[in-house]
Amino acid sequence: MHDATQRVMDRVIQLDPNQPEFIQAVTSFLGSVDKLVEDIPQILYHKVLDRMVEPERVIMFRIPWFDDDGLLQLNRGFRIQMNSALGPYKGGMRLHPSVNLSILKFLAFEQTFKNSLTGLSLGGGKGGSDFNPKGKSDGEVMRFCQSLMLELGRHIGEDTDVPAGDIGVGGREIGYMYGQYKRIHNKSVGILTGKGPSFGGSYIRPEATGYGLVYLSAAMLGAEGKSLDGKSCLISGSGNVAQYTAEKLLKMGSKVLTMSDSSGVLIDPSGIDADKLAYIKTLKNVRRGRIAEYAQKYKGATYIPHNGSASTNPIWEVKADYAFPCATQNEINAEDAKNLVANKIQLVGEGANMPTTLQAEEILMEGGVLLAPGKASNAGGVAVSGLEMAQNSQRMQWSPEQVDAQLLTIMKNIYSNISQAADKYSTKNNFVDGANIAGFLKVSDAMIAQGYV
């Protein structure tokens, strides 16, 4: 690594030694863009890397709310306004007990380059809370979301910062947050994306991350003379991204063998078909149940309890052609990667953000697996969020077909940009470098052009 790049890395570790996820995301990024610093001296001269690893602003606040027993509960809320060089801060809100500054800073950092790759004018941000939505009533979730927005509302705006969903935040939570914002600020404006289609939401936004992942994977496979048709696929997770990845894979003629949740892994050798997927959607989105119930209903399926404490994840031991991690960060470790390589998996398409550890990334790429990194392959969600913002500004709503067509074009462009950047600055098919570099160049240019901010 170039001395100056190493100094940036050392400083991040020195300032925030207790932020392992953020350090991991920065390590991957600096490893890629280090290949540019000799060729483009402005990067060092303008201290672009030093500025890029420091959020423009971090907002932390308390969220008091009343549970159904009338007891006051407290959570911690965050919004990381990472980088506004390309446009308003944009990125999801995560509600999960594990949420902390390290996780949100890694997500906001990755989001900056992901949003750049979409080709839309979007800066990077992320937020959330350590609130655990599991087992909470609708009323409790609503009161929590209202209290969160009472504070968050003063920091966001349609041209300032536009949050959306992530783990634990879907249509229900966005609806409650939007309603509260409108009540306080007396404005019907696009301050959140992922809204219901009857009040400013874009068609295809719920589907967009999963569909986009499949579009990009198809483009990547196509360049190698391969396709999805007739191929078997592993999906982890059973939330928003996993469900619509499965839906689009089925449409492409693939067979979906697995899904999972934070309690365990479901393996269905006869394939999760459209009817079974409809059952999963109701189970997870309406009844908010556990994936284990599937194995009681469909007898050929196996359920393996797995809460992440074992050294490997059984889902990555299943034989298949392609794998789509769609649950959470670091869900593929080095041992999992070895299992995937041993089983001759040909593509890992990341639906989740940073689902692969640094070591696992190396093992997969050395093993000849096509690795589609999340900041490129899951960019379809935020891309359609950008299209939702455009529709809100126009006070228009585009048809599902129009939005889907734009999503497909955006994902194909992302593939071609990351693949060209890999060829030019790194090695063919190193899409980790390709995505980091292609995403970075645009943000870097904008930061230099806008002076020292």
Does 164 bind ligand 2IT (CB under 6 A)? Our answer is: yes
Dihedral class, residue 186 (left if φ above 0, else alpha if ψ from -120 to 50, else beta): left
**Contacts with ligand 2IT, 172-211, as mask; x by CB under 6 A:** ---------------------x------------------
Question: Which one, 201 or 237, has the nearer CB to ligand NDP?
Answer: 237
- Minimum distance from CB of 206 to ligand NDP (Å)? 8
DSSP letters for 409-431: HHHHHHHHHHHHHHHHHS-TT-H
The token duo for 126 is 């992320």
Partner whose binding site includes residue 139, from ligand NDP, ligand 2IT, none (CB under 5 to 8 Å by kind) = none
Q: Amino acid letter at 66?
A: F
Stretch that binds ligand NDP, among 63-71, 79-87, 261-269, 409-417 (CB under 6 A): 261-269
Alpha-carbon gap, residue 352 to 367, rounded angstroms: 21
Minimum distance of ligand NDP from residue 245's CB (angstroms): 9
- Residue 326 touches ligand NDP, criterion: CB under 6 A: yes
Residue 367 DSSP code: T
Residue 165 engages ligand NDP in binding (rule: CB under 6 A): yes
What's the one-letter identity of residue 369?
V
Tell me which of 126, 195, 248, 255 is the catalytic residue: 126
Q: Which of 353, 356, 417, 430 binds ligand 2IT (CB under 6 A)?
A: 353
> Can you tell me which of 239, 349, 373, 434 binds ligand NDP, judged by CB under 6 A?
239
350 touches, from ligand 2IT, ligand NDP, none (C-beta below 5 to 8 Å by class): none
Q: Which of 180, 339, 385, 417 binds ligand 2IT (CB under 6 A)?
A: 385
Q: Which stretch binds ligand 2IT (CB under 6 A): 84-92, 305-313, 314-322, 357-365?
A: 84-92
Among 21, 34, 166, 261, binds ligand 2IT (CB under 6 A): 166
Instruction: Using the rule CB under 6 A, give the single segment among 51-59, 231-239, 379-387, 397-405 that binds ligand 2IT.
Output: 379-387
Choosing from 245, 378, 391, 444, the residue that interacts with ligand NDP (CB under 6 A) is 378
Q: Tell the smallest beta-carbon distance from residue 145 to ligand 2IT (Å).
A: 16
* C-alpha–C-alpha distance, residues 334 and 176, integer Å: 40
- Is 122 one of the binding residues for ligand NDP (CB under 6 A)? no
- Compute the distance between CA of residue 71 and CA of residue 137 in angstroms, rounded to an integer: 14
Q: Which does 90 bind (CB under 5 to 8 A by kind): ligand NDP, ligand 2IT, none?
A: ligand 2IT
Residue with tokens 């359920």, as numbered in its chain: 303
Q: Where are the alpha helices (DSSP H) in 88-128?
A: 101-117
Burial class, 66, CB count within 10 angstroms (exposed 0-12 / middle 13-18 / buried 19+): middle
By CB under 6 A, residue 308 contacts ligand NDP: yes
Q: What share of the chain is helix, strand, coil (3-state, %, to 5)?
A: 50, 15, 35
Please give the structure tokens belonging to residue 11.
Answer: 């400083």
**Token code pair at residue 3:** 């001395």
* Nearer residue to ligand 2IT within complex by CB, 270 or 393: 393
Active site residue 344: no
* Residue 245 binds to ligand 2IT (criterion: CB under 6 A): no
Radius of gyration of the chain (CA): 21
Give yes or no for residue 328 binding ligand NDP (CB under 6 A): yes
Give the rounded distance of the alpha carbon of 440 from its chain centre. 17
Alpha-carbon gap, residue 197 to 2, rounded angstroms: 49
DSSP string, 180-198: HHHHHH-----SSSS--GG
* Helix/strand/coil for 131: coil
Closest by Cα among 365, 310, 373 to 337: 365
Site for ligand NDP contains 314 (CB under 6 A) = no
Nearer Cβ to ligand NDP, position 37 or 277? Answer: 277
Distance between CA atoms of 327 and 319, rounded to whole angstroms? 19
C-alpha distance across the termini of the chain, in Å: 26
Q: Which residues are catalytic?
A: 126
Chain residues binding ligand 2IT by CB under 6 A are 90-92, 111, 114, 164, 166, 193, 353, 381-382, 385
Chain residues binding ligand NDP by CB under 6 A are 96, 165-168, 170, 209, 237-242, 261-263, 308, 326-328, 351-353, 378, 381
